[in-house]
Amino acid sequence: MRNVKSSISRAWGIFQQVLLLLVVSLALVTPTGSANTNKNVDLILLLALDVSSSVDVTEYRLQREGLARAISAPEVVEAIRGGAHGRIAVSVIQWSGFSDQTVKIDWGVLETPAGISEFAKQVRSMKRRYSRNLTDISGAIEFSRKHILSAPYIARRKVLDISGDGRNNVNLPPTIQRDRSIAAGITINGLVILNEAPYLQNYYQDFVIGGPGAFVERANDYVEYRRAMVKKLLKEIGGPLLF
């Protein structure tokens, strides 16, 4: 009888050990799988706004309001939700002269109308970081590349959306950082405001943009910024046509 009890006790002990190992294994596997799923987005998009001295107070407000209205436009919301994952990761930086770049809105996911509306409110409340500096497109691209590569999300497409109203006039030529960004798997698109530089579209085409499907969108002035940004975002997000 004692041998029988001993055998049952050993068997019960083995069963408990196996059960414990199974529970621990599930605890280790399940959270990791869930986290990976939550990190998947259709697009990692960085919006880089020019706030150099060529952008006056009124133009900055038009730029800020134009971006807020563009990102929350019904057709843009539809494009975001129409992707394979129905969500994109977005961040906003401001850039100006040499070493003048800062993150104004850090990485977050846009996937619901409410979340997109909240993001638009954050854009509208953004304070301007710089106002009396030169135009360092090269530094903006370098800063943007590092920020994009640090994004805590997984996406097949990574895009830098850089807008400005002037040429690079400090630091190294933009082509150096442009080529490094393309090599890192980032596409650079441009939105040019032509009110002070009529030929800026050609400059961006030759020295700033690059990567698969890269393009330049144009606005004649900051009043047209919203329209141009909507058009640009629709091309970048793509919606169901890309999936």
In this predicted structure, what is the pLDDT of residue 31?
34
Q: Do 159 and 201 fall into the same domain?
A: yes
pTM reported for the whole predicted model: 0.83
Q: Do 131 and 32 fall into the same domain?
A: no
Number of domains the chain contains: 2
Q: Do 64 and 136 fall into the same domain?
A: yes
Q: What is the mean pLDDT of the chain?
A: 87
- Domain with 26, as residue range(s), is 1-39
pLDDT tens for each residue of 24-54: 343 433 333 333 457 999 999 999 999 999 9
Q: Do 28 and 74 fall into the same domain?
A: no
pLDDT tens for each residue of 11-31: 555 555 544 444 334 343 333
Q: Do 28 and 77 fall into the same domain?
A: no
Q: Do 216 and 106 fall into the same domain?
A: yes
In this predicted structure, what is the pLDDT of residue 133?
81
Q: State the residue for tokens 């919203």.
A: 226
pLDDT tens for each residue of 58-90: 999 999 999 999 999 999 999 999 999 999 999
Q: Do 27 and 132 fall into the same domain?
A: no
d(CA 40, CA 107): 13
Q: With b meaning 16 or more CB within 10 Å and e meaning fewer, what string describes 82-99? A: bbebebbbbbbbbbbbee
Q: What is the CATH number for 190? A: 3.40.50.410
Q: Do 72 and 17 fall into the same domain?
A: no
pLDDT tens for each residue of 163-203: 999 999 999 999 999 999 999 999 999 999 998 889 999 99
